Structure 1
Amino acid sequence: MTTSDDRPPGTRHRPVMLRRCLELLGPALRGRGEVDGDGGGGARGEPGETTVVDCTLGLGGHAEALLDAFPATRLIGLDRDREALRLAGERLARHGRRATLVHAVYDELPDVLARLGTPRVAGILFDLGVSSLQLDEAARGFAYAQDAPLDMRMDPTTGPSAADVLNTYAPGELVRVLRAYGEERFATRIVEAVVAERARRPITSSARLVELIREALPQAAMRTGGNPAKRTFQALRIEVNTELAALERALPAAVAALALGGRIAVLAYHSLEDRMVKRVLAEGATSTAPPGLPVVPERYQPRLRLLTRGAERPTEAEIADNSRAAPARLRAAERIREDDAR
């Protein structure tokens, strides 16, 4: 697949909260050399290199900045979207062997690191949600503001599409998806409209789905909260790409892959993602000691130190310059203790 947008990646995508991400990850990447003794350096074990993983490469904006800012750092970039990998590869080509790009979902991180001989890394970045490439390419069907086939697959070569979900799921399962992943109060009304429509003809276009949603919702619900289709499209995208299930597996694996002193930064764009990130990082930063111990043994001490107070948000200036930054929530933590088994 090729994209209909032929602008260079650097002009199509502005990485969100870039400076703050570099500040948070920087102390783990800046001139550290080998971060520990069991493979925490470069992906091929080169002395004097640290490794950072961009688990959601997209068009490579964060990755490019990391490689530019930290010349002793090697980058592993993961993405399930082959077109994103192609475009990011062109953008990062000037960095040569310092950038290793892999077609993978972020919950495959342990397998990727094992194949590359890099079980421990100095930094990990997640920039969750849908990418600029996917939003801007109308044929992908992610954007409710443009009519397109209802696809929404981040890897369009595999798995069921959003149209498949709408036209084949049982009504009760569709209601569950809209409520759980879109937090849609009117899920039952929307699903009733979907079921009635698909009995007449399959629902295949984003424009038709938006019409059905508008017709199903009460007028008062359409006067607030932005586009009334937003929550349904979010829910379908998460279901099609199993985003939350993958993230639930990926976050603990990412923490486990951090070398001592390594750092993780996560950008989330809706409350479901952010709650999961908050829980995993908070659990890592909390003592597991039974209550009442006068002295807490090392094995019960926290593994992580939180680097952000709550979720940090983009500045008003950044939002004015890049509206897609508006919902971003950034959390970060540092690995301060090894697992007990190590």
Structure 2
Amino acid sequence: MTMHESVLLKETIEGLDIRPGDVVVDGTLGRAGHAIEAAKSARAKGGDAFIVGIDRDSDALAESEAKLKSAGIEAKLFKGNFRDMGEFVSKAGKSSADKIILDLGVSSPHIDSSGRGFSFKKDEPLLMTMEKEPTADSFTARDIVNGWAEEDIANVIYAYGEERYARRIAKAIAARRTDRPIETTSDLVSVIESAVPGMYKRGKIHPATRTFQALRIAVNDELGSLKKGLDAAFGALSQGGRLAVISFHSLEDRIVKTAMKEWAKAGRGEQLAKKPVAPGDEEIARNPRSRSAKLRIFIKN
């Protein structure tokens, strides 16, 4: 099993200032790294916090449940999307949350071993769904690359991947699928590599990185969910409560930054710091996936 290391863990827990009796909602529970540290932080101050965990992945929930139980941490876990946070807080028997954590990164197990096509480094079915077992009705990355108009594909790759060669890549995808469908990650990688200049292939990041990001965001409506999720989180937060959001690319951070600025402008609270917190060199060396992470914390009035 691939281990997932929680990003900006120390900075998040310190910034949230978790206290005994707090209701702590982890809206992106994953493998419970942040949730467990939140509970430990409360215990270090003399009492327990109550954890509410939300995740779309049943495997992650099962693993987290075992970890939390082993640590003797009281928690209520729910399968779902954090945009429905208010509903889950109510189901947990609580009226509001004192501290909320949203880690927007795709967990390492999803990338490395889901078998659903999140990584361009493995030959897997091109699905990119968060569901463990997609159904015939599930919307997948295959649907986009094989069914969407070339212009729509280019727009998605440009808007969600910020890919400079989006039009070239979309044109190559449209040409390839007339011969045979693009079914796997390897199929798509070969199409992308055929479309971009040689110098781009030798750059710092793999030439497929931005296209894969764009397709994943589109398949899972990540930006739409984030906007709704931020509103839901703010609504669920108690007076004086704190919301911590860790983003991993500029599109996400822009949405988070804008939401927090609007809340502050409306007199509904303030950001803990004007600038986001980024990982240090030591964390980046230990966990290269953390390099683009940004942490923002908002305190509600």
Q: TM-score, normalised by structure 2?
A: 0.93
Which position in structure 1 is the counterpart of 2:234?
A: 255
Q: Name the aligned partner's letter for residue 75 of structure 1.
A: I
More off after superposition, 302-311 vs 75-84: 302-311
> Do structure 1's residue 99 and structure 2's residue 75 form an aligned pair?
yes
State the alpha-carbon separation in 1 of the partners of residues 241 and 275 from structure 2.
20
State the alpha-carbon separation in 2 of the partners of residues 195 and 58 from structure 1.
36
> Do structure 1's residue 123 and structure 2's residue 99 form an aligned pair?
yes
Which position in structure 2 is the counterpart of 1:144?
A: 120
Post-superposition CA distance 1:50-90 (Å, at most 9, x none): 21110111111111111222132111111111111111112
Which position in structure 2 is the counterpart of 1:39?
A: none
1:269 to partner: Cα distance: 0.3
The one of 180, 186, 192 equivalent to 2:159 is: 180
Which position in structure 2 is the counterpart of 1:154?
A: 130
State the alpha-carbon separation in 1 of the partners of residues 115 and 131 from structure 2.
13
Contact kept in structure 2, 1:51 and 1:122, CA below 8 Å: yes
Contact kept in structure 2, 1:138 and 1:146, CA below 8 Å: no
> Do structure 1's residue 23 and structure 2's residue 14 form an aligned pair?
yes
The one of 27, 35, 40 equivalent to 1:63 is: 35
Which position in structure 2 is the counterpart of 1:297?
A: none
Which position in structure 2 is the counterpart of 1:73?
A: 49
State the alpha-carbon separation in 1 of the partners of residues 36 and 112 from structure 2.
20
State the alpha-carbon separation in 1 of the partners of residues 49 and 184 from structure 2.
44
State the alpha-carbon separation in 2 of the partners of residues 138 and 283 from structure 1.
37
> Do structure 1's residue 303 and structure 2's residue 268 form an aligned pair?
yes
> Do structure 1's residue 231 and structure 2's residue 210 form an aligned pair?
yes
> Do structure 1's residue 110 and structure 2's residue 89 form an aligned pair?
no
More off after superposition, 305-314 vs 272-281: 305-314
Post-superposition CA distance 1:113-156 (Å, at most 9, x none): 23333231100000003111101205121111121111111123
Q: Name the aligned partner's letter for residue 287 of structure 2.
A: N
State the alpha-carbon separation in 2 of the partners of residues 255 and 160 from structure 1.
29
State the alpha-carbon separation in 1 of the partners of residues 193 and 252 from structure 2.
26
What percentage of residue pairs aligned between the two structures are identical? 39
Q: Name the aligned partner's letter for residue 255 of structure 1.
A: F
State the alpha-carbon separation in 1 of the partners of residues 297 and 151 from structure 2.
37
State the alpha-carbon separation in 2 of the partners of residues 62 and 207 from structure 1.
34
Which position in structure 1 is the counterpart of 2:277?
A: 312
State the alpha-carbon separation in 2 of the partners of residues 160 and 15 from structure 1.
28
SS of the equivalent of 1:151 reads coil
State the alpha-carbon separation in 2 of the partners of residues 199 and 86 from structure 1.
42
Post-superposition CA distance 1:215-240 (Å, at most 9, x none): 10122333334100000000000011
State the alpha-carbon separation in 1 of the partners of residues 73 and 123 from structure 2.
40
Which position in structure 2 is the counterpart of 1:35?
A: none
Unaligned ranges ≥5, structure 1: 32-48, 289-301, 337-342
Q: TM-score, normalised by structure 1?
A: 0.82
Contact kept in structure 2, 1:59 and 1:133, CA below 8 Å: no
State the alpha-carbon separation in 2 of the partners of residues 274 and 97 from structure 1.
31
> Do structure 1's residue 52 and structure 2's residue 5 form an aligned pair?
no
SS of the equivalent of 1:20 reads helix
Which position in structure 2 is the counterpart of 1:324?
A: 289
State the alpha-carbon separation in 2 of the partners of residues 240 and 91 from structure 1.
30
State the alpha-carbon separation in 1 of the partners of residues 149 and 190 from structure 2.
21
> Do structure 1's residue 169 and structure 2's residue 148 form an aligned pair?
yes
State the alpha-carbon separation in 1 of the partners of residues 133 and 143 from structure 2.
14
Which position in structure 2 is the counterpart of 1:243?
A: 222
More off after superposition, 308-317 vs 233-242: 308-317
Post-superposition CA distance 1:263-305 (Å, at most 9, x none): 010100000000000001111112x4xxxxxxxxxxxxx1112
Q: How many residues align?
A: 294
Contact kept in structure 1, 2:76 and 2:92, CA below 8 Å: no
State the alpha-carbon separation in 2 of the partners of residues 222 and 233 from structure 1.
15
Contact kept in structure 1, 2:126 and 2:140, CA below 8 Å: yes
More off after superposition, 229-238 vs 158-167: 158-167
Q: Name the aligned partner's letter for residue 30 of structure 2.
A: G
